[in-house]
Structure 1
Amino acid sequence: MATLATPSLLDAGTHAARWIADYCSQQFKGDVLCAQHDDPAWTAMFEELAAVAGDDLGHARERAQRHAEDIGTGFRIIGESEERPWPVSPVPLLIGSAEWQGIAAGIEQRAELMETILADLYGDAKLVERGLIPAALVGGSPFFLRPMAGLVPPGGYQLHFIAVDLGRGPTGEWRVLADHLRAPAGAGYALENRLAVSRTLGGLQSRLNVERHAPFFAAFRDGLAAMCRRVEPRIGLLTPGRFSPSYTEQAHLARYLGLLLVEGADLAVLEDKLYVRTIGGLKRVDALWRRTDPRMLDPLAFDSHSKIGVPGLVDAMAAGEVVISNAPGVGVLESPAFGAFLPQLAMRLTGRDLLLPNIATWWCGQDTERAHVIEDFDSMLIGPAFGVAPLGLPGGVPLPGGEITGAARDALLADLARRPQDYVGQEIVRLSTMPVVADAALVARPFTLRVFAARGADGAWTVMPGGFARIGEHPDPRASVMGEGSWSADVVVHGAAEVDPVSLLPATDSVHVRRNPGTLPSRVADNFFWLGRYLERGEALLNVIRVMLGNSIDADAGAALGPQTVGRLVGLIVAGGGAPHPASLRRADLAAFTRTAMEAEERWHSVRTINRLARGIGQGSRDRLSSDMVRLLDAPFPTRGGMLDRAGSLQRRYAALSGLSAEHMGRTAAWRFHDLGRRVERALAVTRALRAFGMPQGSADDLSTLLDLADSQISYRQRYLTGIARIPVVDLIALDPGNPRSLAFQIDHICEHLRALPVLEDDGMNEPQQALAARLVATVSTATAASLDEEVLGDLERGLFTLSDAVARRYFLQGAEPLRAAGMTLA
């Protein structure tokens, strides 16, 4: 018989003390917890963990991961099409404020040193002239961009935002492992880690006086704005697109910072000014925080094959009309080979040693250093000098020399003799460990720390208090073995001083109230329009499949439909490209036919295919969609139960998506395009159904099927008690403006949306898309059920396609032609 637990077993302090004692009894050398096991901060953290998870550390890990997934955090491995959930540990890394001050000072010194070096390399090049930097180290780097030579960036700074990877040695010293300057990633993950851990350990903030991230992000945003020429600048975050490994992080940062998330195709340069293509014309962009490869940034200046860049962007930068963070070309200092020269450069340029030393590095482009690397080959880490894979290291990943054997060793040494400048030797770094939850227990794993620094409005550097820790999958403490790690952890900087509850949100009385939601890029409008169309198209196809499953194939569903009605249903699916025509209308052939229309993955425009297209749009619109909507779009295709069960599951999902868009999306221009796409696609589906089932030769089965496809059976039965007749059915589904599934209802809403969307001229005349919608309204409003024959319905269908094309031409601006149209360029 169960007994009540003793009070000590329910005490969070008891659990915390036991966890720490059990963990440190294993004598982990250099572990951050065991070196400070009597620090009350660690005890407080584990007490908070025990308060929410009891004695179950596995539950704590699941809870933190669930919070991360609720936030929408994810990432993609290069080469994979599916996103993975961002792995966050429930145990943060704790760093005292005194220790953090030393780290921050080292990061600030490093950032200033790199700014000085970059200004020289792209300016007078005195450091190369004096022999302090070998010319081959600069000219041989693929990240030195010659078109940037002599160009002074707007504001005068090359660097605005950097990331630095640090390793903590077993004795507690911190050293720099790598610099990230081209497109530093991870600040959004640090923010999301903080959100997930804060939700898991709610009381930690007040108990430890945890320093906040908001002042750092505010300083960065203000710093970019201060370098722009306009008082209220428009700032964009330039992303390579949804297939970028860190796209979800970029979307989260854009939403958090209030930046416009843009791709290269969204932007255009006219007369040395940068514009974003919007539904209201071209609007100025004053600054870009780029997350793209700088070589892809401008096909006229760098790689001419780039399809994601903006032609003329460097000219706009040179004219001082757009700030680019960071400036193209700064990646030349990311090269591991530069680590061999930074200590000497720091002393020559600042008069001080590096506060955060580099790992010892020898560039093989120098005779003495190359000889040293070859002599100590087995005790060194051998890596590419410029971050690009040389012939001797085809994987491009640094490897311990002692582990390179046989033919691979011979090939590397041979290539090192041919092209020594492509290689570096580095000391093998051993890392400290920290506690991680694995199999419901605390285990020690090595970690690295990524720290971020940003330039504020006064030009000074601000260091994010924390960053995020990467945690290795295996106990091996060598940094080269750890690689990218398999888990991440929040980094908590704490101290005795109370922390002001700073938020990135401005004071409530300092913001001018407005109801205009802001700029809507044309690409986003295009995405929302087609998201609406795909969701409606998938639902329409599923309706046809469900009618066939419920009335023609399922033996328990009652009387089967007549062969002519079934043939017309088949024709709707075949005409839409959902499946090839079945060999016959026998039950087995129809079952295979509907299975193809619902589940085919290739060749056919099945429900699964349509869902995949909608999901792709959702993944590219994370900055504007709710997490619930993204979660529904990302949900896997159902596989359990029979076909009718799976169809029902999908139908409920479509209904949930429709409800979210109808009840939870603000009535912004983005929502109008989404609903416009739905209305266009639904109008097309209704028109086709009317042509197939609503003609004078139609049978009772045809009319009943038409009511099913239009979800109007109940409405009809409530209105007409005498049975099914063609004229009232057609009137209800085609012409009744009060029926939300009718053709008239769709066209009225299409016209309403187009009247509300922006126009380019102020002459009061209809634009082409508005005129086409008005023509459709006139046709439907003057028609009668008896007059709706195939010819009229065919004209309406063609008119809807023409209207869709007109909407695309007007609002989804692509290519150079729209840039020359009258009225397109705005402020």
Structure 2
Amino acid sequence: MELATQAALFDAGTHARRWADGYAAAGARADVFHDPADASWLAMLEELAAIAGDDLSHARERVQRHAADIGTGFRIIGEEAERPWPLSPVPLLIDDAEWSTIERGVVQRAELLETILRDLYGPAALVTRGHLPATLVTGSPFYLRPLVGVTPPGGCHLHFVAIDLGRGPSGEWRVLADHLRTPTGAGYALENRLAVSRTLGGLQGRLNVRRHAPFFSAFRDGLAASCRRSDPRIGLLTPGRYNPSYAEQAHLARYLGFLLVEGDDLAALEDKLYVRTIGGLKRVDALWRRLDPRLLDPLAFDSHSRIGVPGLIDSWAEGNVVIANAPGSGVLESTAFGAFLPQLATRLTGADLILPNIATWWCGQPAEAEHVAAELDSMLLSSAFGARTLGLPGDGAVAGAELTREQRAAFLDDLTRRPQDYVGQEVVRLSSMPVVIGDRLEPRPFTLRVFAARDGDGRWQVMPGGFARIGEHPDPRAAVLGEGTWSADVCVHGRDPVPQTSLLPAADSLHVRRNPGTLPSRVADNFYWLGRYLERGEALLAAIRVMLGNSIDADAGAALGARTVGALVDAIVGVGAAPRPDSLRRHDLTQMARIAMESPDWQSVATINGHAQRIAAGSRDRLSADMVRLLDAPFPTHRGMLDRAGSLQRRYAAIAGLSAEHMGRTAAWRFHDLGRRIERGTAITRAARAFGLAGASVDDLSTLLDLADSQISYRQRYLTGIARVPVVDLTVLDPGNPRALAFQVEAIRDHLARLPVLDDDGMAEPQQVEATGLCAVVATAQASTLDAATLGEVERRLMRLSDAIAHRYFLRGAEPLRAGGLTLA
């Protein structure tokens, strides 16, 4: 009996029932998990117990670790560093029957919004017949008057929508907000599902959870069907890596097979849109944009925009590029439209809204303004069009009951002057769901974001799930959900088994190709400079380590002669890593080394690492998770300088190993390696000029071997001691030494020979001519006669070669649009 009791304590079902009973006893009927006998919730809790035992905090840590492995993150506006995505291990469970109502309501709403947009940018009958106030439309900053009369390619304004829903205490669902401009969150829903599936591996099969892949496949097919070409090129247009949801955008682009592009990657020419690639300008047929529509085209909208594409709107208006969603669709996001949608639904569709709005009063109408003023304490007050107003504190919604006397007076005063700027809404009370707090389950209010997209036949498909946002506090009012909340996966489940579908095509249905696809010029530029910065940091670190290890920490004082130490100081000062020390004494050299390692005010190792991190952050859709983690790792804080330097050296070696052994030999890898080779060639050329010329001492030559990481190679080859000519030959002219200059220039020539060329006349391009000339100089040099003039010429040629590579491949500005051979289909 005692053994049976002990076994039960470790049984997953026992833990699940205990959690369910305890949660239901402490919870309320408004919670989605109010019945402790609910089989679906018990199954989920059993899966949790199987991996967490009786410690729920372990489950939370595990799902967070999986989210981090996937690369899920977000950024708060104004912050440079990304934060980890806050994911709960407890998913929201919704059965098929309840989901069916949500699905039908979302499709009805998407169709209604499309109908209204088609009218507002077409005949405007809703306004002329008095069904919508003109001020409601023209007062929105997202109503784009220049687009009136323009029919979007494919005839649809909306391709992808997101709708926020709230579940009331009695179980009814209502719409809190529509997202049409740049709907975000689908990538987070996908990442949540991946992380939770890795954590609760058996849940999908036990509950027949519907999958997300068919939805994303339908969306991709829908965008492609709207394009004029049969095999379209589709891009995801991002504002850049500082956008709060950039990590989500990168993940979506990789998952869907879209090009992740910024405005600077694109160019409009003769009413067609192109992406600047290393192979020239190539057509783009569709853009899934995450860029504010007013910034899309400085010629059409905001002339101050530096992240848009001049001429993009003309290309769109001519039907040559699809933009999802169409510019101007954000006019319906205004909170004030919620006051009119119920009547419009009845008038335009002949039916009431399946998912009703929360009650809304637009104060642009006298009776509604009086009602809001009279019922202030029961209202949620907000800006009608999203812009900041004089009468409300802050930028978000404010509960009228929480206004101070002075704030109330300010609101009522501005309401009198500009009533059209304000909206009053009922304060929504939300259902709660379980979330892990500490080591137990506690109820928290939640909202649900649902996504819908057009498929290849133009019909709306709804993602089965979405993601839930969970309030940080037990307050059930919708207004309290904001920054600092958790998210949860949403699992739609039923009795019928779910097909094992995937976004990937069937194994035998896809044409095999070994060309990895289009490489935008900006990405090539990023990979090139990522390689250069990593190699530059490693070279500077090597100089610091030689100075620290041989001049400072030796037991009997300096192990290197003063001239050699002085040359090392010159090398570090010459690259702007630190100021020149007052003397070559141990204390002054230590202080200089510390600055060169970590000072943000100089081109230190830490500064160079920061450059590499920022570049990697903008290319995360093409870098492995391991590479990103190594690049994002914090700067070492070991107590000793040599320990810190050693830790960094191992990190550099790990990154180099990943790039050498785990990156496919694509054009992106070639540019990364080109950057490394040019930077390494420059470093070894400078080192040879400082430590390898005639008259070099043994200390100088030993230092040159250290900087070229060739000490072991030299000792294996020469047993009679250090001599200048063999040292120079090994570190500069030996094509078999991967650290030698000769190896670098041969690798550079090989990369340039394999990269795309624009003409088929067989003639070398300028960058190839430069590389061939550089190889000739190095190949004909002799170690015994190598002098400063020759090494100086090599360095100048390396710099010219770098400029030629940038001019040919890193296309920027208007000049490439006029260059012959750069425009391709």
TM-score, normalised by the number of residues in structure 1: 0.99
Aligned partner letter, 2:208: N
The residue aligned with 2:137 is 138
1:705 aligns with 2:710: no
1:646 aligns with 2:672: no
Structure 1: distance between partners of 2:571 and 2:332: 60
The residue aligned with 1:434 is 433
The residue aligned with 1:32 is 32
The residue aligned with 1:76 is 75
**Cα distance per residue 1:545-596 (max 9 Å; x no partner):** 0001101111448752111111100111111010111111111111110100
Instruction: Give 1:391 deviation, angstroms.
Output: 1.3
Structure 2: distance between partners of 1:37 and 1:304: 60
Secondary structure of residue in 1 paired with 2:784? helix
**Cα distance per residue 1:422-462 (max 9 Å; x no partner):** 00000000001000001111111100000000000111000
What does residue range 576-655 of structure 1 map to in structure 2 within 5 Å?
A: 576-602=575-601, 604-655=602-653
Structure 1: distance between partners of 2:523 and 2:556: 44
The residue aligned with 2:14 is 14
The residue aligned with 2:345 is 346
Instruction: Give 1:330 deviation, angstroms.
Output: 0.4
State which of 729, 734, 744 in structure 1 corresponds to 2:727: 729
Aligned partner letter, 1:678: R
- The percent of aligned pairs where both chains have the same amino acid is 73
Aligned partner letter, 2:612: A
Structure 1: distance between partners of 2:444 and 2:525: 46
State which of 742, 745, 748 in structure 2 corresponds to 1:747: 745
Maintained 8 Å contact 1:268/1:310: yes
Secondary structure of residue in 1 paired with 2:364? coil
Aligned partner letter, 2:243: S
The residue aligned with 2:326 is 327
Aligned partner letter, 1:121: L
The residue aligned with 1:475 is 474
Structure 1: distance between partners of 2:464 and 2:141: 33
Instruction: Give 1:410 deviation, angstroms.
Output: 1.8
Maintained 8 Å contact 1:471/1:485: no
Maintained 8 Å contact 1:180/1:334: yes
Structure 1: distance between partners of 2:506 and 2:228: 25
TM-score, normalised by the number of residues in structure 2: 0.99
What does residue range 737-816 of structure 1 map to in structure 2 within 5 Å?
A: 737-816=735-814
Instruction: Give 1:674 deviation, angstroms.
Output: 0.3
The residue aligned with 2:117 is 118
What does residue range 358-437 of structure 1 map to in structure 2 within 5 Å?
A: 358-437=357-436
Structure 2: distance between partners of 1:272 and 1:300: 13
**Cα distance per residue 1:397-418 (max 9 Å; x no partner):** 1110010013222222211111
- Aligned pair in 2 of structure 1 residues 219, 557: CA closer, same or farther (>3 Å)? farther
Secondary structure of residue in 1 paired with 2:622? coil
Structure 2: distance between partners of 1:128 and 1:73: 44
Instruction: Give 1:128 deviation, angstroms.
Output: 0.4
**Cα distance per residue 1:779-811 (max 9 Å; x no partner):** 000110022111100010010000000000000
- Uncovered stretches (5+) of structure 2, i.e. residues with no partner: none
Aligned partner letter, 1:808: A
Secondary structure of residue in 1 paired with 2:573? helix
Aligned partner letter, 1:155: G
Secondary structure of residue in 2 paired with 1:32? coil
The residue aligned with 2:550 is 551
Instruction: Give 1:484 deviation, angstroms.
Output: 4.5
State which of 680, 683, 695 in structure 2 corresponds to 1:682: 680
Structure 2: distance between partners of 1:612 and 1:197: 32
The residue aligned with 2:239 is 240
Structure 1: distance between partners of 2:128 and 2:260: 42
Secondary structure of residue in 2 paired with 1:684? helix
Maintained 8 Å contact 1:472/1:484: no
The residue aligned with 1:718 is 716
Structure 2: distance between partners of 1:163 and 1:334: 11
Secondary structure of residue in 1 paired with 2:541? helix
1:222 aligns with 2:212: no
Aligned partner letter, 1:10: F
**Cα distance per residue 1:518-548 (max 9 Å; x no partner):** 0000000000000000000000000000001
- Uncovered stretches (5+) of structure 1, i.e. residues with no partner: none
Instruction: Give 1:395 deviation, angstroms.
Output: 1.5
**Cα distance per residue 1:16-74 (max 9 Å; x no partner):** 0000111111132401111x432210010000110111111000000000000000000
Structure 2: distance between partners of 1:150 and 1:557: 85
The residue aligned with 1:460 is 459
Aligned partner letter, 2:683: A
What does residue range 471-550 of structure 1 map to in structure 2 within 5 Å?
A: 471-484=470-483, 486-550=485-549
Structure 1: distance between partners of 2:607 and 2:404: 48
Maintained 8 Å contact 1:551/1:557: no
Secondary structure of residue in 2 paired with 1:436? strand
Aligned partner letter, 1:578: A
Runs (4+) off by over 3 Å: 2-5, 555-559
Secondary structure of residue in 2 paired with 1:276? strand
Secondary structure of residue in 2 paired with 1:352? coil
Structure 2: distance between partners of 1:416 and 1:651: 63
**Cα distance per residue 1:143-197 (max 9 Å; x no partner):** 1011111100000000000000000011100000000000000000000000000
What does residue range 437-448 of structure 1 map to in structure 2 within 5 Å?
A: 437-448=436-447
Maintained 8 Å contact 1:548/1:569: yes
- Aligned pair in 2 of structure 1 residues 3, 716: CA closer, same or farther (>3 Å)? farther
The residue aligned with 1:825 is 823
Secondary structure of residue in 1 paired with 2:436? strand
The residue aligned with 1:173 is 172
What is the root-mean-square deviation in Å for CA atoms of aligned residues?
1.1
The residue aligned with 2:664 is 666
The residue aligned with 1:657 is 655
Aligned partner letter, 1:42: W
Instruction: Give 1:103 deviation, angstroms.
Output: 0.1
Structure 1: distance between partners of 2:102 and 2:5: 46
Structure 1: distance between partners of 2:740 and 2:249: 41
Structure 1: distance between partners of 2:342 and 2:4: 63
Maintained 8 Å contact 2:363/2:424: yes
Aligned partner letter, 2:9: L
Maintained 8 Å contact 2:17/2:36: no
Maintained 8 Å contact 1:550/1:557: no
Maintained 8 Å contact 1:476/1:482: no
Aligned partner letter, 1:376: E
- Aligned pair in 2 of structure 1 residues 304, 474: CA closer, same or farther (>3 Å)? same
Structure 1: distance between partners of 2:515 and 2:556: 51
Structure 1: distance between partners of 2:549 and 2:490: 56
State the number of aligned residues. Answer: 824
Aligned partner letter, 1:11: D
Secondary structure of residue in 2 paired with 1:6? helix
Structure 1: distance between partners of 2:279 and 2:348: 50
Instruction: Give 1:388 deviation, angstroms.
Output: 1.3
Structure 2: distance between partners of 1:787 and 1:342: 85
Structure 1: distance between partners of 2:207 and 2:181: 35
What does residue range 136-215 of structure 1 map to in structure 2 within 5 Å?
A: 136-215=135-214
Structure 2: distance between partners of 1:4 and 1:757: 69
